[in-house]
Amino acid sequence: MSDNRFFGTHRPWEDWLGMLLGVLIMVSPWFPMQVSDIVDVERSHLVLNSFVVGMLVLGLAQLEYVALHRWEEVASILLGLWLMASPSIFGYSEEQTLQLWHILLGALVALIGALQLWQDWNLSEQDLAKYPQ
């Protein structure tokens, strides 16, 4: 039963993890395990997508750390799903390593967002305003 309480309450470490994931998403095109150099004019949209999604994830996690709102968690889930779909949308699914990183990081962002939404689902607006306690 204590495990349920651990995951049943929104904790600050979840927001810090979201911030870390945002930074990792921003720098993911330059991870050392990339096979090819994807930073060229033709593929600048990959870098821009990674940077924008990473900044949004980082910003939402910072907002959640300061004041909780359910829309922040829903937005995090949507950003995670967008990052997972990005290889297919932007056509870089042949970049196996970057595709794997974006699917993994996107899944983690969506999972953390879903966990936080589940934790805060039954809380009133007054309870959300008390965070962090």
Residue 2 CB partners (closer than 8 Å, separation 6+): none
Residue 26 CB partners (closer than 8 Å, separation 6+): 50, 51, 54, 55, 58
Please give the C-alpha separations between residue 67 and each of 8, 71, 102, 113, in angstroms, as whole numbers.
18, 11, 28, 15
Residue 4 CB partners (closer than 8 Å, separation 6+): none
Q: Which pLDDT tens digit goes with each residue over 10-49?
A: 677 888 899 999 999 999 888 765 555 555 566 788 889 9
Q: Which pLDDT tens digit goes with each residue over 103-122?
A: 999 999 999 999 888 887 77
| pTM of the predicted model as reported, rounded to 2 decimal places | 0.80
